[in-house]
């Protein structure tokens, strides 16, 4: 089945179970101070769950454009390095607003995956909430008993609060969830280690595909839980992951959602996918990020210097940097992918076709302007290197590398790459020291805005982990120690 058929099969299946098919909400959120981007299918139904508005239909289904690069859900660092987290992705979902509950939700999930889509059942695992004494929430016996009718108890796994209990916030609706995982390893590998020990362990071939949330409690301000007068179902399935499974692939990037983009990148760069890990990561990052940029612009969010626009600008620049460093691009190239993307996704999301001209134009302008900054920085670096060489110095000083990073948006690995081409090294320790000094010296947004990059190198001791959306300055970077 191709991706278009898979998406439609999901929607048609739930329509046949009495669900109304509704459109995706915008990916860029305009009127919610707590959220810049839609990060789950349920976002648009928040007010229904909170009891602030009534549902038009008690059963709905859709595919939702989601973006996970900020706030509570931030997958940016995983993207491209693994093969199943994206920045922008589609979340397929079905909802019950005070209508059906666990029984139908679980039975239908199983019916769709196994009977309708033919996923082999012995590769599926499910998780149920193990309970939490401190919250006086019991083990989810109800879900367990229903799953037991479908698969052996050895493949029903207890999950903890982190993975299997969903809460909207400090207070409000909450409840246990059940996840469906799939083991796509070869038969040989599966015999070696049982899939259940790998569930929720970030194993690239034993991955979560679907999350079924059962809202049955309300958390009160004093922390206690009371049963909700009406229970709800909220499910979310990763569309790209489902396509991977159904198309018999080991990576989302090998599905028909991504191969045309990667093919175009191969053609433009003259490099091949699947030969060199760094090239592969770059191609995955770029083919992922162009989706984010395209859908953001289609939602009228242009790259800019603040808030959501700044996040989009940085994602676009991040992709340009990967192209520059690992694919050898010295000119704008992202904009050439927009045509391919609209071919792949335009039928389901006509807004990207309608806005295509604007998307191409804005993307190219952004790329050109960023490449000019890069050029200025590179010329500066080359001048410094020639001077250093004259004095017999084989090192680019850490303070210079930091200035390039801080003022011209050069990530350390790019400076290293250029230095290596001149048989020079970069003083990494000095760079880190300069970074520390700057971090402690200034926390104001203007200073932070100058640093445009995240690090590619995994061994860096501080890593960019995303944009803090709840902060007042919005552009402040958070670093984690690794
Ligand atoms: P994971 O544990 O793999 O990060 P999650 O538990 O964070 O997933 P949920 O919030 O439960 O994900 O979202 C529902 C479904 O959406 C997941 O089961 C998964 O299939 C899909 N999904 C989540 N994050 C991503 C992502 N970054 N890219 C693609 N699909 C995703
Ligand atoms: Mg996650
Ligand atoms: Mg998970
Ligand atoms: Mg989950």
Averaged pLDDT in 10-residue chunks for the chain of 482 residues: 98 98 96 89 93 94 96 90 97 98 98 97 97 90 98 96 91 95 93 90 94 95 91 98 98 98 98 96 98 98 91 93 92 98 98 98 96 85 85 88 84 80 88 89 45 32 33 26 24
Distance CA(245)–CA(295), nearest Å, equals: 25
- Look up the pTM and report it: 0.86
Query: The dihedral of CA 200, 174, 92, 67: what is its sign?
Result: negative
Å from CA of 387 to ligand 1 middle = 50
ipTM value for the complex: 0.99
For atom 10 of ligand 1, the residue with the nearest CA is 40
What is the SS3 string spanning the chain?
A: CCHHHHHHHHHHHHHHCCCEECCCCCCECCCCCCCCECCCHHHHHHHHHCCCCCCCCCEEEEEEEEECEECCEECCCCECCECCCCCEEEEEEEEEECCCCHHHHHHHHHHHHHHHCCCCHHHEEEEEECCEHHHCECCCHHHHHHHHCCCCHHHEEEECHHHHEEECCCCEEEEEEEEEEEECCCHHHHHHCCHHHCCCCCCCCEEEEEEEEEEEEEECCCCCEEEEEEEEEEEEEEHHHHHHHHCCCCCHHHCCCCHHHHHHHHHHHCCCCCCCHHHHHHHHHHHHHHHHHHHHHHCCCCCCCCHHHHHHHHHHHHHHHHHHHHCCCCCCCHHHHHHHHHHHHCCCCHHHHHCHHHHHHHHHHHHHHHHHHHHHHHHHHHHHHHHHHHCCCCEECHHHHHHHHHHHCCCHHHHHHHHHHCCCEECHHHHHHHHHHHHHHCCCHHHHHCCCCCCCCCCCCEEEEEECCCCCCCCCEEEEEC
Spatial distance between the Cα atoms of 310 and 302, rounded to a whole number of angstroms: 9
Confirm or reject: Cβ of 91 under 6 Å from ligand 1. yes
Give the closest residue (by CA) to ligand 1 atom 25.
85
Q: Which CATH superfamily is domain 3-251 in?
A: Bira Bifunctional Protein; Domain 2 (3.30.930.10)
- Closest CA to ligand 1's atom 1: 208
Contacts of 224 (CB under 8 A, 6+ apart): 136
Looking at the DSSP bridge assignments, the partners of residue 127 are 157, 179
**Which tokens hold the place of 141?**
């016996």
Q: How far is the CA of 87 from the centre of ligand 4 (A)?
A: 16
CA distance 26 to 160: 32
Looking at residue 458, what is its pLDDT?
A: 29
From the CA of 339, how far away is ligand 4's center (Å)? Answer: 33
- Specify the pLDDT at position 320: 94
Tell how strand 395-396 and strand 172-183 pair up: unpaired
Which atom number of ligand 1 is nearest to the Cα of residue 209? Answer: 20
Q: Say how far residue 35 (Cα) sits from the centre of its chain.
A: 15
For ligand 1, atom 9: residue with the closest CA: 211
Tell me the CA distances in angstroms from 283 to 258, 259, 343, 396, 400, one per residue in order: 10, 10, 19, 29, 30
User: What's residue 442's pLDDT?
Assistant: 61
Q: Beta strand pairing status for 425-426 and 395-396?
A: parallel
Tell me which of 208, 209, 233 to substitute to probe ligand 1's pocket, judged by most ligand atoms within 8 Å of the beta carbon. Answer: 208
pLDDT in the model for residue 275: 97
Q: What is the model's pLDDT at position 219? A: 92
Distance 327 CA to ligand 1 centre (A): 29
Ligand 1: which residue has its CA nearest to atom 4? Answer: 85
Q: How far apart (Å, rounded) are the C-alpha atoms in residues 321 and 413?
A: 10
Domain boundaries, the chain: 3-251, 258-481
The Cα–Cα gap between 200 and 181 comes to: 8
pLDDT at 443: 52
């Amino acid at each position: 089945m191709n991706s278009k058929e898979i998406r439609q099969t999901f929607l048609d299946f739930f329509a046949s179970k009495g669900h109304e098919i509704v459109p995706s909400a915008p990916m860029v959120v305009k009127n919610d101070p707590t959220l810049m981007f839609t990060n789950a299918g349920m976002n648009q139904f928040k007010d229904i769950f909170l009891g602030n508005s009534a549902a038009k239909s008690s059963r709905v289904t859709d595919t939702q454009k989601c973006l996970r690069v900020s706030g509570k859900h931030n997958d940016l660092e995983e993207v491209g390095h693994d093969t199943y987290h994206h920045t922008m992705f589609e979340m397929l979902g079905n909802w019950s607003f005070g209508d059906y509950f666990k029984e139908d939700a679980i039975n239908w999930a199983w019916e769709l995956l196994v009977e309708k889509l033919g996923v082999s059942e012995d590769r599926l695992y499910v998780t149920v909430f193990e309970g939490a004494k401190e919250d006086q929430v019991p083990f989810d016996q109800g879900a367990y008993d229903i799953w037991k009718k479908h698969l052996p108890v050895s493949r029903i796994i207890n999950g903890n609060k982190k993975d299997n209990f969903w809460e909207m916030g400090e207070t409000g609706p909450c409840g246990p969830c059940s996840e469906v995982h799939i083991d796509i390893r070869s038969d040989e590998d599966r015999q070696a280690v049982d899939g259940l020990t790998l569930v929720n362990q970030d194993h690239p071939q034993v991955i979560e595909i679907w999350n079924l949330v059962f809202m049955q409690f309300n958390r009160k301000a004093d922390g206690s839980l009371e049963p909700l007068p009406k229970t709800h179902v909220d499910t979310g399935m990763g569309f790209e992951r489902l396509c991977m499974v159904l198309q018999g692939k080991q990576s989302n990037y090998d599905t028909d959602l991504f191969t045309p983009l990667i093919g175009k990148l191969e053609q433009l760069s003259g490099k091949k996918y699947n030969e060199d890990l760094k090239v592969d990561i770059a191609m995955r990052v770029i083919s992922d990020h162009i989706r984010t940029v395209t859908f953001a612009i289609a939602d009228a969010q242009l790259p800019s210097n603040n808030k959501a626009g700044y996040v989009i600008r940085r994602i676009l620049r991040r992709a340009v940097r990967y192209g520059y460093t690992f694919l050898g691009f010295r000119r704008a190239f992202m904009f050439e992918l927009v045509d391919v993307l609209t071919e792949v996704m335009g039928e389901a999301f006509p807004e990207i076709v309608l806005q295509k001209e604007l998307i191409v134009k804005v993307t190219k302008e952004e790329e050109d302007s960023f490449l000019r900054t890069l050029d200025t920085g590179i010329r500066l670096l080359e001048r410094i290197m020639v001077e250093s060489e004259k004095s017999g110095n084989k090192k680019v000083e850490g303070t210079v590398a930091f200035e390039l990073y801080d003022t011209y948006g050069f990530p350390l690995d790019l400076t290293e790459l250029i230095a290596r081409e001149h048989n020079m090294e970069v003083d990494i320790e000095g760079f880190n020291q300069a970074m520390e000094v700057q971090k402690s010296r200034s926390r104001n947004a203007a200073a932070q805005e100058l640093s445009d990059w995240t690090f590619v190198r995994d061994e860096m001791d501080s890593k960019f982990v995303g944009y803090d959306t709840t902060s007042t300055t919005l552009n402040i970077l958070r670093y984690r120690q690794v």
